[in-house]
């Protein structure tokens, strides 16, 4: 899983926000700006983690910003092809892709890039309030922010039982009742997370649910968080995870995944960059975890 380079890649696309609020196209630059607050603490390739009372030494010149995906505003197909090609290039050059969305439709071409450039089974860990398993609809089509997981499990080496959704909640379409029973997608609802030890959930996922996979894709939709913690998203669903719960789980995953994307940060609806700063801290924590010298 370990790669020498931590590659930041922006995907400023909200063309899939057919039901949710558009505006996530502005997130990559916003997250980069907020990231500077944390990056400023690095001196001589070292940074101190106050929570863990631990000093980290990072590998030199190991964080590289690869800019943004080339967006073709009139074409989802061409934009997604550009995204897949860019992530493929990063994976081929042994770069760990940390992708800044963008609405959640951005995940599919990145998942496809991982799928087509690796061998073996692929698991997906999805932090999200919503299920994103819609097949098609007249309003949204097949490649919206509500369908990327459905498209992903159609890929040859991704099975529904290797898709794990964390933080899902609220109400949804009635057809989901039968679909979820038949498909076998693994879910930990927000209520179940609140009633459990977050670290134990991740341990169960890694050691049981995904023990047979060879690669793991991690996607974090910011609406998985309680709206009071993260108001700047494409859609707000009450009853979400706390920031502490989310970071507690993520720190168990940072160095065990092959690709990480953050989706649905929406600066147009954010308050004092609260949501954006959470995403930036995730990126910084992931970089420190993956790049610190053992």
Domains of the chain: 5-291 (3.40.800.10)
Please state the rounded mean pLDDT for residues 178-203: 97
Q: How many CB atoms lie within 10 A of CB 232?
A: 29
Scanning 218-293, the segments in alpha helix (DSSP H) are 243-250, 274-291
* Confidence class for position 294, pLDDT limits 50, 70, 90: low
| Whole-angstrom distance, CA of residue 50 vs CA of residue 182 | 46
Please state the rounded mean pLDDT for residues 118-125: 98
Please state the rounded mean pLDDT for residues 214-239: 97
* Confidence class for position 2, pLDDT limits 50, 70, 90: low
* φ and ψ at residue 99, rounded to 5 degrees: -105, 130
* φ and ψ at residue 267, rounded to 5 degrees: -60, -25
| Whole-angstrom distance, CA of residue 66 vs CA of residue 126 | 24
> Phi-psi category of 102—alpha, beta or left, where left has phi over 0 and alpha has psi -120 to 50?
left
* Confidence class for position 115, pLDDT limits 50, 70, 90: very high
| Residue 89: burial class (beta carbons within 10 Å; 0-12, 13-18, 19+) | middle
pLDDT above 80: residue 16: yes
pLDDT for 20:
84
Write the DSSP assignment of 40-63 as a string of letters: TT-BTTEEEETTTTEEEEBPTT-E
| Whole-angstrom distance, CA of residue 168 vs CA of residue 250 | 16
Would you say the C-alpha torsion 77, 150, 69, 259 has a positive or negative sign?
A: negative
Q: Do residues 27 and 269 lie in contact, with contact meaning Cβ atoms separated by under 8 Å? A: no
Q: What is the pLDDT of residues 56-66, one digit of tens each?
A: 999 998 999 99
pLDDT above 70: residue 197: yes
Q: Of 15-19, 122-126, 149-153, 203-207, where does mean pLDDT reach its minimum? A: 15-19
Average pLDDT, the chain: 96
pLDDT for 1:
53
pTM tops 0.75, yes or no: yes
pLDDT for 174:
96
Look-up of token digits 């926000």: 17
Give the Å distances, CA to CA, from 100 to 25, 28, 72, 140, 157.
10, 5, 17, 22, 25
Q: What is the pLDDT of residues 146-172, one digit of tens each?
A: 899 999 999 999 999 999 999 999 999
The CA-CA-CA angle for residues 126, 20, 85, to 5°, reads 55
Please state the rounded mean pLDDT for residues 76-94: 97
Give the Å distances, CA to CA, from 178 to 53, 174, 182.
48, 8, 6
């Amino acid at each position: 899983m370990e790669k020498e380079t931590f590659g930041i890649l922006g995907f400023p696309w909200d063309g899939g926000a057919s039901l949710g609020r558009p505006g996530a196209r502005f997130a990559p630059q916003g997250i980069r700006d907020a990231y500077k607050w944390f990056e400023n603490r690095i001196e001589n390739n070292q940074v101190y983690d106050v929570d863990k009372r631990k000093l980290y030494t990072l590998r030199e010149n190991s964080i590289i910003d690869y800019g943004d995906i080339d967006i073709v505003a009139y074409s989802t197909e061409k934009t997604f092809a550009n995204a897949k090609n860019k992530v493929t290039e990063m994976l081929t050059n042994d770069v760990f892709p940390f992708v800044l969305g963008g609405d959640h439709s951005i995940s599919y071409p990145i998942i496809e890039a991982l799928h087509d450039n690796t061998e073996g089974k692929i698991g997906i860990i999805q932090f999200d309030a919503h299920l994103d398993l819609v097949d098609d609809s007249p309003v949204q089509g097949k490649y919206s922010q509500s369908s990327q997981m459905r498209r992903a499990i159609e890929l040859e080496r991704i099975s529904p039982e290797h898709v794990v959704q964390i933080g899902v909640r609220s109400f949804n379409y009635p057809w989901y009742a039968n679909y979820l029973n038949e498909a076998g997608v693994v879910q930990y609802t927000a209520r179940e997370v609140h009633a459990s030890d977050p670290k134990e959930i991740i341990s169960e996922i890694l050691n049981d649910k995904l023990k047979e996979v060879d690669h793991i894709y991690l996607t974090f939709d910011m609406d998985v968080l309680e709206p009071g913690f993260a108001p700047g998203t494409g859609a707000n669903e009450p009853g979400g995870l706390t920031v502490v719960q989310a970071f507690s789980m993520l720190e168990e995953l940072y160095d065990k995944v092959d690709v990480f994307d953050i989706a649905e940060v929406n600066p147009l609806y954010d308050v004092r960059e609260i949501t954006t700063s959470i995403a930036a801290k995730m990126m910084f924590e992931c970089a420190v975890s993956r790049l610190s010298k053992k």
